[in-house]
Structure 1
Amino acid sequence: MEDEMRSMSINKVWDLEEIPKGTKTVSSKWVYKTKRDSKENIERHKARLVAKGFTQRERIDYTETFSPISSKDSFRIIMTLVAQYDLDLHQMDGIPERRFIRNVFMAQSKDFVVKGKENLGCRLKKSIYELNQASRQWYLMFDKTIRSFDFKENIENNLLYVDDILLASSDINLLLETKNFLSSNFDTKDIGEASYVLGIEIHRDRKKRVLGLSQKAYNENILKRYSMHKCKASLSQ
């Protein structure tokens, strides 16, 4: 939580100001997540401060919210090309850019109220998670930035899934150059060769140009969620 608040401060996400009379504030809450790899080992714990965007009113507090993301069909097409042409496949975990936003006030987190400024609110200068307009602003920022690097959008196969980024290339130097470009523009984590993305394990045998996809970990999690992980498997007749 302290790391998240430190990030908010470094990125100057808000200013503490007196809330104008009659202005509606958006509340906030903490969301905790444990990130695991394909073997269910804990990679890291994350705490994220998010806005209670469900209290915002359409056409009053926000307008457009549409933000395209990649489909699983797009993912399978890319994996087919990676296997067929023996492409290098790397993965990056991005943190959505908090883009400029106006006229939104958020109440201070009750866990981090600034002493002596209890009556002030957070006037958001940049978007945060769960604001209704947040995902669209992240997409617009990413789209503008990546186009400046001479990338062109594939209308049928969008390759950005929220903040999970896959990079496939026949030129390893170009791939590394692209990763450096993304890291210089966004707060990203370089994961290296892709092996687990969107709950899907990626298994490769580059000598045989074979690539396999598995959702074993995802399926096991579903079974555990519904207390069926100890059931016996059987084949239908």
Structure 2
Amino acid sequence: MDDEMNSMYMNGVWDLVELPHGCKPVGCKWVFKTKCDSSGQIERYKARLVVKGYSQRERIDFKETFSLVSTKDSFRVIMAIVAHFDLELHQMDVKTAFLNGDLDEDVNMEQPTGFTEVGKEHLVCKLNKSIYGLKQASRQWYMKFDRNITQNGFKENTVDRCIYLRVSGSSYIFLVLYVDDILLASNDSDLLIYTKHMLSTHFDMKDFGEASYVLGINILRDRANGVLKLSQRTYIEKILRRFNKHNCSSTKAPIVKGDKFSKA
């Protein structure tokens, strides 16, 4: 919780102000989550301050909410290109991504439970940046990222606007954005390092190095043989446990995706 509040202060997410006359502040709450790695082991415990966005009023507290993310099909196409051309494949993550988005509307929030400033209990938080839970938070983050990345020589794909490409002579790099997860695929390690540095100057980033686990998908590479495998074993095991089927025997099912079944 202290880490989350430090992120709020570092990003200048809000200012404490008197509640304007006739306005009602939106509430907030703490959400706690256990983050696990690809093997299901606990990686860290996470606390997040979330706005109760369901109390926001359309055209007053927000206007547009639609935000883009890359599709799983695009992800598979990029993985095929990575395998075919033996590209470098690295992964990055944006810390507290939504806090980077700038707000166009005036939104006032109650002070967080457990972190009310002494002597200022009557004041509310006037939000300067978007925050998790706001209906427009995801959109504002995407708009900010898109603006920064296109100003730095990247061009968005016309079919999937969360896939970006930058070409420099014979070198090129793909950037895949899925909310706050970023995949970088390049044929030039220097261009890869430059892109990482550029991203880190604009946003608070985590660099995970070579990609191995992204969007709940394990990436297994055998570069010597030009093989790249995708596995969702962790997700499958999670679903089996959820429906109490994890101890069932497995068998091969000769079914192709898209097969239609009839009564016959």
TM-score w.r.t. structure 2 length? 0.86
Runs of 4 or more, structure 1, over 6 Å off, are: none
Cα distance in 2, alignment partners of residues 113 and 207 from structure 1: 57
- Aligned pair count? 237
Please name the residue that 1:123 is paired with.
Answer: 126
What secondary structure, in the 3-state scheme, does the structure 1 residue paired with 2:50 have? Answer: strand
**Shift of the alpha carbon at 1:12?**
1.1
Is the 2:100–2:144 Cα contact (8 Å) retained in structure 1? no
What secondary structure, in the 3-state scheme, does the structure 2 residue paired with 1:166 have? Answer: strand
**Shift of the alpha carbon at 1:18?**
1.0
**Shift of the alpha carbon at 1:67?**
1.0
Residue 115 of structure 2 is aligned to residue 98 of structure 1 = no
Identity %: 57
Residue 56 of structure 2 is aligned to residue 56 of structure 1 = yes
Please name the residue that 2:169 is paired with.
Answer: none
Cα distance in 2, alignment partners of residues 225 and 111 from structure 1: 34
Please name the residue that 1:18 is paired with.
Answer: 18
**Shift of the alpha carbon at 1:114?**
1.1
Residue 203 of structure 2 is aligned to residue 186 of structure 1 = yes
Which stretches in structure 2 are left out of the alignment for 5+ residues? Answer: 163-175, 255-264
Residue 215 of structure 2 is aligned to residue 212 of structure 1 = no
Deviates more, 1:160-169 or 1:32-41: 32-41
Please name the residue that 1:170 is paired with.
Answer: 187
Please name the residue that 2:115 is paired with.
Answer: 112
Cα distance in 2, alignment partners of residues 227 and 115 from structure 1: 49
Is the 2:18–2:124 Cα contact (8 Å) retained in structure 1? yes
What secondary structure, in the 3-state scheme, does the structure 2 residue paired with 1:230 have? Answer: coil
What secondary structure, in the 3-state scheme, does the structure 1 residue paired with 2:218 have? Answer: strand
TM-score w.r.t. structure 1 length? 0.96
For the aligned residue pairs, the C-alpha RMSD in angstroms reads 1.3
What secondary structure, in the 3-state scheme, does the structure 1 residue paired with 2:143 have? Answer: helix
